[in-house]
Amino acid sequence: MTLLSIEGVSRRFGNVTALSDVSIDIQQGEFFALLGPSGCGKTTLLRILAGFETPDRGGVRLDGADLLKLAPHKRPVNLMFQSYALFPHMTVAKNVAYGLERENLPRAEIKARVGEVLEKVGLEPMANRRPAQLSGGQQQRVALARAIVKRPRLLLLDEPLSALDKKVRAEMQLELKRLQHEVGITFVVVTHDQEEAMSLADRIAVMDQGRVEQVDAPVTLYDRPRTYFVADFIGANNLFTGAIRGGVFSAEGLGPLPSKATTADGPAALAIRPERVRLTEPTPGMVQGVVVDVSFYGGVSHIAVEVTGLGRKVLAATQGSARITPGTVVGVTWRPEDAVLIAN
Amino acid sequence: MSRGRGSNLARLIFLGPGLIMLTLLAVVPMLLMLSTMFFQRGRFGGVVYEFTTANFSRLFQPLYLNVIQDSLVVAGLVTVLALLIGYPTAYAIAQLPPKWKTIALLAVMLPFWTNFLIRMYAWTILLSGPGLVNEALTGIGLIDKPLELLYTRGTVVVGLLYGYLSLMILPIYSAVERLDPRLREASANLGASPVRTFFSVTLPLTLPSALIGAVLVFVPSFGNFVVPEILGGGKAIMVGNLIRDQFLKARDWPFGATIALVMVVVTVILLLAQAVVSRRTRSA
């Protein structure tokens, strides 16, 4: 069931286009991510959903009703701010109770619900502390508790983990996911960190320069990128520009490359993941190059190959340590079905 | 700690000039002056160093107590009015676009850079019997005969308010300006109306600065003698006038110092109260 539908939303600031005709449908109970580099418009979209910005064009419906007509404080949407925005003059319990007090609920119910949610995020012992007395991870949990205690239809999270160090981050990622299952609220998370988006979200909208490039499940985004930007942005990729003619992709300066053409003739790009690239004995007609760099990362090794005629390195990844040494001349190939063709 | 010694020396060099100016050259002479309150005045001015408590009992005569009480009321009224007018002004300035913000701040500070005495005399032109305000009011037919605008206690209040309002606006402005706008957004997001947000978030977080403004307005108003003299016509006497008269006219240093002590005590109490409140709101 569609909970939120964003229909053709556009927003300009002066002559900067923050959002350009963005349409996304988000399902009830989904963990959805808006992913893109900074300045791609994802935060503007989030602020429109929260009511702090208004779009120039387009509409937003929540449960079928026009969301844009409601003032920010009347929307059944809660936002967890990037910097948490906890009220510094209130205790943890007061911060969490703030939203419930605005609903004029009986005091006993407020107390019970605050206690319940603090227990859920493991912060009961901190109830009487002020935000300044908490660690970053604890503040993040207060912010989360304050947002979910209202039981919103939709929870927005703006770069929820960006202020945390790596270890706490991994922990909180798991916790976020567990919480989302537990409370059953629809989550929309904004992030520039693709690992975060990939590990958390059911579906991801990749955005660039105010446009939605692709909306798909993480695995599909990785395996079947539909635009050049997505292929380049998500994970490591080797990209060749060229054209498809007669069902065969030819790269500029290299000639035909292994692929199964599914798109029509015309300019296109070919993307092949480093872990799909195979290095072999060079044979005539094959793309050839010289190994320039081998780096060992524990589980995998990355081999950079300077390809003749390309002027750029092709990256290959192998399991474990590589037996190849710099200076070796190799053939670079892959299975045709592993290559992804992207029409321009 | 390796950095201890060097940075201590640097700290001393930085602190030295300011602290010497403010403590040795200000506190010491003031203490010397205040100490005269335990002695008697000389017959032709000056101080006779014979211990007495007469200055204190004189202070508690109704005549002087009334002046002190009046001064407290006037300064308190000025402070409350400055807060009521200054807070909305400061708040509104903080919301302006950057260019207009600079202009508005300049407008707030401009009178403050003008000589205080001149500003007060300028007001007498405005308020006197045949002055601009009365002319205007009779001109549009609102009144038949000129109002008595000058030389009342109200005039003193308005004059002090005019003189010190910027001292209220500036600290509040800087607090509202510093306030993270996301806190207000968070409040709205949690269901608080703009009015609720103001009273639950904005006001409590800017209160310490409003209190600083209140002290900055109250203290010089309480001890002021220029405004009561010029706009009050010497009829509305305040503590400042009393002290001035004791030192310059009656040449009674010991009693002048005794009244001055009242001012010091009131100021210290206010500063302490302000420190306690701001500490409570800030950390805790």
Per-residue pLDDT tens digits for A31-49: 999 999 988 999 999 999 9
pLDDT of residue B6: 63
Could you give the C-alpha distances from B205 to A274, B185, B279, in angstroms and in order? 54, 15, 12
Could you tell me which residues come within 8 angstroms of residue A77 by beta carbon, excluding any fewer than 6 positions away?
A49, A50, A51, A62, A67, A152, A153, A154, A155, A156, B189
What does pLDDT average to over chain A?
A: 90
Q: Which residue of B185, B187, B189, B283 is the best one to mutate when testing the A interface, meaning the one whose CB has the most A CBs within 10 A?
A: B189
Say how many CB pairs under 8 Å bridge A and B. Answer: 61
- The tokens describing A214, both together, are 């692709």
Distance CA A192, CA B110 (A): 47
pLDDT in tens, A260-304: 877 778 899 999 999 999 988 888 878 888 999 898 888 888 999
- Locate A54 and state its tokens: 């208004």
Place of tokens 């204190």: B56
Q: Please say whether the beta carbons of A315 and A304 come within 8 A.
A: yes
Alpha carbon distances (Å) from B57 to B49, B266, B267 = 18, 19, 22
**Closest by Cα among B244, A218, B191, B133 to A206:** A218
Chain A residues at the B interface, defined by Cβ less than 8 Å, are 50-52, 71-75, 77-79, 81, 83, 85-89, 98-99, 102-103, 130, 132, 146, 150
Q: What is the pLDDT of residue B4?
A: 53
More confident position, A206 or B128: A206
- Is the Cβ pair A72, B189 closer than 8 Å? yes
For residue A309, pLDDT beyond 80: no
CB A303 within 8 Å of CB A279: yes
CATH 3.40.50.300 domain residues, chain A: 2-223
Give the model's pLDDT for residue B3. 52
**pLDDT at A14 > cutoff 50:** yes
Per CB-CB distance under 8 Å, the chain A contacts of B189 are: 50-51, 72-73, 75, 77-79
Please state, in angstroms and rounded to a whole number, the distance separating the CA atoms of residues A153 and A196: 23
C-alpha distances in Å from residue A45, one per residue of A1, A58, A84, A130: 21, 12, 18, 31
- DSSP letters, A262-321, are -SPSEEEEEEE-GGG-EEE---TTSEEEEEEEEEE-SSEEEEEEEETTTSSEEEEEEES-
What is the rounded CA–CA span in Å between residue A329 and residue B60?
105
Amino acid identity, position A247: G
The B-side interface with A (CB below 8 A) comprises 180, 182-183, 185-194, 196, 200-201, 204-205, 281, 283-284
Q: Does residue A322 carry a pLDDT above 80?
A: no
**For domain A236-343, which architecture applies?**
Beta Barrel (2.40)
What's the pLDDT score for residue A343? 85
Query: Which of A19-33, A87-101, A316-330, B126-140 shows the lowest mean pLDDT across its residues?
Result: B126-140
Average pLDDT rounded to a whole number, residues A13-37: 93
Q: Answer for the pair A272, A334: CB distance below 8 angstroms, yes or no.
A: yes
Please write the tens of the pLDDT for every residue from A209-250.
999 999 999 999 999 999 999 999 998 999 999 999 888 888
When comparing pLDDT for A172 and A306, which is higher?
A: A306
A168 pLDDT higher than 90: no
Q: Which fold has domain A2-223?
A: Rossmann fold (3.40.50)
**pLDDT, average across residues A137-162:** 89
pTM, 2 dp: 0.79
| pLDDT greater than 60 at residue A342 | yes
For the stretch A43-74, pLDDT in tens is 999 999 999 999 999 999 999 899 999 999 99
Predicted ipTM of the assembly? 0.83
Find the residue in B nearest to A155 (Cα): B189
How far apart CA A145 and CA A177 sit, in angstroms, is: 14
For chain A, give every residue range classified as CATH 2.40.50.100. 236-343
Tell me whether residues B187 and A79 touch, CB distance under 8 A.
no
Q: Which residues of chain B have pLDDT under 50?
A: 1-2, 284
Q: What per-residue confidence (pLDDT) applies to B100?
A: 93
Cα(A114)–Cα(A95) distance, integer angstroms: 10
* Cβ separation B180–A83 shorter than 8 A: yes
What is the structure's pLDDT at A171?
78
- Do A98 and B182 make contact, defined as CB atoms within 8 angstroms? no
* pLDDT for residue A162 is more than 80: no
Using a CB-CB distance cutoff of 8 angstroms, which residues of chain A are in contact with residue B283? 130, 132
- For residue A53, give the chain B residue with the closest CA: B185
Bridge pairing between strands A31-35 and A186-191: parallel
Q: Closest to B183 (Cβ–Cβ): which among A73, A77, A87? A: A87
